[in-house]
Structure 1
Amino acid sequence: MSEPVNIPTHWYNIAGDLPVAPPPHLHPGTKEPITADDLAPLFAKGLIEQELSTETNIEIPEPIRDVYRNYRTTPLIRAHAFEKALGTPARIYVKYEGVSPVGSHKVNSAVAQAYYNSIDGVKRLTTETGAGQWGSALSFACAKFGIDLEVWQVRASYESKPYRRFLIETYGGTVHASPSELTDAGRQVLADYPDTPGSLGIAVSEAVEVAVKDPAARYTLGSVLNHVVLHQTVIGLEAVAQLRAAGEENADVVFGCAGGGSNLAGLAFPFIREVLHERAATRVVAVEPAACPSITRGEYRYDHGDIAGLTPLLKMHTLGQDFIPDPIHAGGLRYHGMAPLLSHTVELGYVEGKAVPQTDAFAAAVQFARTEGIVPAPESAHAIAAAAEYAKGLTEPEVVVIGLSGHGQLDLPAYHAYLSGNLD
């Protein structure tokens, strides 16, 4: 395991470094570039400033760093036993975010979003969650800053992952299965598709609808948007420094799972910064589920982030706002679109996509658990599978970094299904 490094004092905003400016978000009605006033009904002022910012380095407020100190820096682990099992000359390093209070990377942005809402005097937040990592992270953060939380959890995960729902409730949040009868968007989906497993796009619509109808409430998002990606760059900033502390000059290739994109971007963007400044030649691979392959099979175009069309239009890789993926166990990767900033780096050639079937992901995750002792979240398992396939094909040493975005201790029924041969 690498030595700890200092917790970053600033987040890294890649928008200020890219050779081509990212396409702006558009107002869903006027189709003109979005303004701060357009976003004010939804988000805290500080988050809006970050969403539209092109400053390369944005200071992390001390109250946020105070919470970060409870679990950061997270470990960068040399996976010696996994390397041996793969028979690879690669030196594999795993950046492990499962040591956070809620067991995933999501808390990095949840704490920031709760803080900025608290200084605006917001007392109620709404949000969506897939597998429940974001919902539990935000519930934890809201408890820290005295804010009530209402969560719409995708029905497939609400039913198959009850323990994360229990965790959300333990921290004080209220959880609804989505689609629900509580919103116009939910009722419309249920009328059209009464047996739907739900999707993140539907859950986003429900959470946004409730927030905009209550002047005292605001909405928060666990991935996709620029400010969420920004907060997650603490992962990559630490990893770059830890890798050098371990005696490695740079990574040759970085693998991370990609659903909405914040985890992969948070890990990868600081490595891409080294590429942009001609200090490295690192490749980045965004690994997505074959059941929801927005990068490898989607279109790069403007689309809504939700099924009802309430959100701004985002230039991103998308399968379409009405796409409802199969109810795979990696619930956090079941999103129809990809973060605009990450999509832009794909288009510029700094990131490549790869789709992995669910069974391959679990096979690699079980091998990783049996060699390294950590049970990965099903989402992270996709990155491990792609990295393992790559490493086994190497004949010369390379430095491979894997983003392990969370542990799978609350996903053991999915592992049981795989091990018993009942994984759909």
Structure 2
Amino acid sequence: MARQKKIYLDESEMPKQWYNLAPDLITPLNPPLGPGGISVTPEMLAPVFPMNLIEQEVSQERWIDIPEEVRQILFQWRPSPLIRAYELEAALGTPAKIYYKNEGVSPAGSHKPNTAIPQAWYNKQFGIKKLVTETGAGQWGSALSYACAQIGGIECKVYMVRVSFDQKPFRKILMQTWGGKCVSSPSMETQAGRDVLAEYPDTPGSLGIAISEAVEEAVSDPTGKTRYALGSVLNHVMLHQTIIGQEAKKQLAKVGIKKPDIVIGCCGGGSNFAGISFPFMYDKVNGADIQIIGAEPFSCPTLTKAPFIYDHGDVAKMTPLLAMNSLGHNFIPAPIHAGGLRYHGMAPLVSAALRDGLMDAVAIHQSECFEAGLLFLRTEGIIPAPETTHAIAATIREALKAKEEGKEKVILFNFSGHGLMDLVGYDKYMTGQLHDYEYPEHEIEANLAKLVGYPMPK
């Protein structure tokens, strides 16, 4: 009997609702806080986001309908395939069954359009004419540029972290082909950018800085027709990504698997990890025995070393205080090639899941990740993004552990994006130019010292 490599769903089987983890958390989610420690109201967020997305951000509804117009655009690449990694299994000699959800098949090459399309659609419904955002590795900026082109009638501007702007020129070009405008951050176009450049002219930039610039431009538009869009961290972004895990459940069922033993995703701000894992956290809350692992870089150890605190999402402190694992909003990461994993904070929902024991976290050096990426591409044939290699490295660890234990485990991981525009990173690894970096404890302590007096989450 021929083995089945790819597991597909018919378009009619694509989920019609997103799953919201918030009502199923063991401990209620801490609210975002404004000046003076006052809980942020939806009205306070109105200059930044359209009210229809704010309603999703604060919702306690478990299931939220996906608009049919949004589904029609998602059909361009969804449902995405679930793939059995037979060749990787053979190379590892593991009895584990390894499956990966291939989100690299989207037009932008990653999971990011899953939220970019609905965000652009909801903003257009609200009458917004321009979206401003930030991007690290460029995947989110590419996705939002694509989404604005698909929805039509919305201008897109992207502040791209300087080190990635320099490392990944083709991402900038990709944004431009879809009509997006991409600028290096920090820039001279905002007060936040000018302030950073005045103090740190040679800074590699950070997502926190780029967020400050994007939010500043959005809220300062006198016409009121500009809003900010975020590709990770916030609740409504996590919500939109849960289409990934819901599809994976249906696909595993098609080959007789009721549940995976292990679910793995890489972690930066939390979006692709939430997408694959939250639907399985729902099962875990309801008694299922599933291990869920978030894999992050040693150079940005948000889950493994950062405390669960209230902190701002950006350097200029323009965002509300969020209850999350944070390295401090002044954190400037090392210029590793996994640009999408260089954020100082973790999504409040993911942070809460870690606090509640619904998941585990592991930090991995980039050399091990690139080595895992090379093994994957030489066995499975697909070049993974540097971010995705963190999930692959964690998967390989678990597959080898299953080999040692002699157990036939089912491992599911999210292949969050391809690396066809990240070949410079692979070249530097193969030529010995990449070095591992562990973020020093004393620098974390120095960042967090500036948060003394901030409220603490429950």
Global fold match (TM > 0.5): yes
Amino acid paired to 1:287 = A
Is 1:408 the equivalent of 2:419? yes
Q: Give the aligned residue type for 1:413.
A: V
Q: Structure 1: give runs of 5+ residues left out of the alignment.
A: none
Alignment-mate amino acid for residue 243 of structure 1: L
Q: Secondary structure at the match of 2:242?
A: helix
Tell me the residue number matched to 1:343: 351
Partner of 2:362: 354
Q: Which residue of 2 aligns with 1:156?
A: 163
Alignment coverage as a number of residue pairs: 422
From 153, 163, 178, give the equivalent of 2:185.
178
Query: Is there any run of 5+ residues in structure 2 with no aligned partner, and where?
Result: 1-5, 436-458
SS in 2 for 1:126: strand
> 2:401 aligned to 386, 390, 393, which one?
393
34, 42, 53: which one aligns with 1:36: 42
In structure 2, what is the Cα distance between the partners aligned to 1:191 and 1:243?
53
SS at match of 1:152: strand
Partner of 1:320: 328
Q: Does 1:201 align with 2:212?
A: no
Please point out which of 240, 258, 267 is paired with 2:267. Answer: 258
- In the aligned structure 2, how far is the partner of 1:25 from the partner of 1:85? 47
Q: CA deviation at 1:240?
A: 1.1
Root mean square deviation, CA, Å:
0.8
| Segments ≥4 residues shifted beyond 2 Å | none
Aligned to 1:248: 257
SS at the partner of 2:345?
coil
Query: What amino acid is aligned across from residue 417 of structure 1 in structure 2?
Result: K
Sequence identity percentage: 53
How far apart are the structure 2 equivalents of 1:222 and 1:188? 25
Q: Distance in 2 between matches of 1:328 and 1:377?
A: 13
AA paired with 1:330?
A: A
Which residue number corresponds to residue 138 of structure 1? Answer: 144
Q: Does 1:236 align with 2:245?
A: yes
- Provide the rounded CA distance (Å) in 2 between the counterparts of 1:132 and 1:269: 25
SS in 1 for 2:137: coil
1:304 is aligned, of 297, 302, 312, to 312
**Contact 1:3–1:246, Cα closer than 8 Å, also in 2:** no
**Residues 73-129 of structure 1: CA deviation (Å, up to 9, x unaligned):** 101100001011111110000011000011000000000100000001100110000
Give the counterpart of 2:197 among 190, 197, 212: 190
Q: Give TM-score, length-normalised by structure 1.
A: 0.98
Report the equivalent of 2:442.
none
Q: Distance in 2 between matches of 1:234 and 1:277?
A: 20
State the alpha-carbon separation in 2 of the partners of residues 12 and 216 from structure 1. Answer: 30
Q: Determine the C-alpha separation between the residues in 1 that align with 2:312 and 2:252.
A: 38
Q: Distance in 2 between matches of 1:68 and 1:217?
A: 24
Matched, 1:77 2:83: yes
CA distance in 1, matches of 2:377, 2:211: 33
Contact preservation (8 Å) 1:45, 1:116? no
Q: Which amino acid aligns with 1:173?
A: G
Q: Secondary structure at the match of 1:393?
A: helix
Given residue 27 of structure 2, which amino acid in structure 1 is its aligned partner?
V
Task: Please say if residues 255 and 401 of structure 1, whose CA atoms lie closer than 8 Å, have aligned partners that are also in contact.
Answer: yes
- Aligned-partner Cα distance in 2 for 1:3–1:102: 20
- What TM-score does the superposition give when structure 2 sets the normalisation length? 0.91
Which residues in structure 2 correspond to 1:43-82 (within 5 Å)?
A: 43-82=49-88
Give the whole-Å Cα distance in 1 for the aligned partners of 2:40 and 2:246: 29
Per-residue CA shift, 1:2-29, capped at 9, x if unaligned? 13151110000011222321111111x1
Q: Where in structure 2 are the equivalents of 1:214-229 lying within 5 Å?
A: 214=221, 215-229=224-238
1:90 counterpart residue number: 96
1:112-127 mapped onto 2 (5 Å cutoff): 112-127=118-133
Check whether the contact 1:123–1:147 (CA below 8 A) recurs between aligned residues: yes
**CA–CA separation in structure 2 for the residues paired with 1:72 and 1:63:** 14
